[in-house]
Amino acid sequence: MTVAVEFDHVSRHFGAVRAVDDVSIAIEEGGFFAMLGPSGSGKTTCLRLISGFERPTAGHVRIFGENSENVPPNRRPVNTVFQDYALFPHLSVRDNVAYGLMVKGTDRRRRQAAAEDMLALVKLDGYGARKPAELSGGQRQRVALARALVNKPRVLLLDEPLGALDLKLREAMQEELKSLQRALGITFIFVTHDQGEALSMADRVAVFSQGAIVQVGSPQDIYERPHTRFVADFVGSANVLSPELAARAGGPRHWSSLRPEAIALAKPEAARLTGTVTGTRYLGAVNRVTVAVGGDMLTIALPAVQTVPADGAEIGLTWPDGALHTMEAE
């Protein structure tokens, strides 16, 4: 496998702020890679280091093996779908999409035809003559996508591209982006703070915290086998068990994680832990029940079809072997 983008001990400091701090990672060609993290964790700065809008304070960003420090954004084989789309308001949709070809000097007929093809690809045929202001958020998003893809980039960067869309549209676009990536076979690098989005779309996920990558792996790895308490908590709100509680639950005396949906109710004599119900939140498909176990709180997710124990009830908890995951670090 070719490496599309490689970070080699890359740092980007803004004065005293270490936006990106000694990040090393290799992103393989042809995959769907997600950079996941809370705001301010350095994921967007990493994306801007690839597109060339930021330059590293230290280290090297290599794009297809080439050092990119002295290559300006307009000469990099990457294109970006911007967070707020950044469509040119004075140009028609067609001219927006054709912009990349226009600055390369492609003649008018050819670039307009290519733009129409791209608009068809993102299901916006017939919208070419409109201005961006006349489109809905979802349509603008597609124009931004078409505008980036018309250049046939080897890497497509997407900066929180679905953040401004409502839930239904977001889910539809997730599917579409995924199938588009498979059909085109180019590398997608995707920045998001939405763990559900990262898990459902990406082949590989890097979790960022405070300017550093804390874990890289498949969505299953990240979700089921978090390395740190931060990952366990940020990716899907797992229960984080202190070493003492983990030992009482039958695991090694080490920080551990336990997924809410892995926990089931059990008779006290068959339970791995017992506790008192302190509250229930109804979320549609499941009820999230908080249980006090000694001084610790655990969350369990019960299918909504199951009866929920009343507040104050003493209940037993159990889970399948292997569900209690021992974390490598704190």
Partner 1 sequence: MTGGQHLTARISDAFWRHPRLLLAVLLTPPLIWLGVIYIGSLLALLVQSFFSIDEFSGLINYQFTLKTYAELLRPSNFDIILRTTLMAASVTIVAAVIAFPIAYYAARYAKGRMKAFFYLGVMLPLWSSYLVKVYAWKLILAKEGILNWAVDGVGASAALNAVLALPVIGGSSLSVSYIGTFLVFLYVWLPFMILPMQAALERVPVNLLEASGDLGGRPSQTLRHVILPLALPGIIAGSIFTFSLTLGDYIIPQIVGSSRRFIGQAVYAHQGTAGNIPLAAAFAVVPIVIMAIYLWVAKRKGAFDAL
Residue ranges binding partner 1 (CB under 8 A):
51-53, 72-75, 78-80, 82, 84, 86-90, 99-100, 102-104, 147-148, 151
Q: Cβ 108 to partner 1, closest distance in Å?
A: 14
CA distance 110 to 117: 11
What is 266-297 written as a DSSP string?
E-GGG-SEEEEEEEEEE-SSEEEEEEEETTEE
Shorter beta-carbon distance to partner 1: residue 156 or 207: 156
Q: Cβ 26 to partner 1, closest distance in Å?
A: 23
CA distance 141 to 253: 49
Q: Cβ 101 to partner 1, closest distance in Å?
A: 9
Shorter beta-carbon distance to partner 1: residue 123 or 152: 152
What would you report as the CA-atom Rg of the chain, rounded to the nearest whole angstrom? 23
Beta strands, E only, 147-230: 155-159, 187-192, 204-209, 212-217
Q: Cβ 53 to partner 1, closest distance in Å?
A: 6
* Helix count and strand count (H, E) for the chain: 9, 18
Q: Give the 3-state secondary structure of residue 171.
A: helix
Shorter beta-carbon distance to partner 1: residue 151 or 239: 151
The single residue listed with the structure tokens 């740190």 is 228
CA distance 235 to 298: 16
Q: Cβ 100 to partner 1, closest distance in Å?
A: 4
CA distance 225 to 179: 27
Shorter beta-carbon distance to partner 1: residue 128 or 153: 153
Shorter beta-carbon distance to partner 1: residue 75 or 109: 75
Shorter beta-carbon distance to partner 1: residue 100 or 275: 100
Q: Cβ 90 to partner 1, closest distance in Å?
A: 5
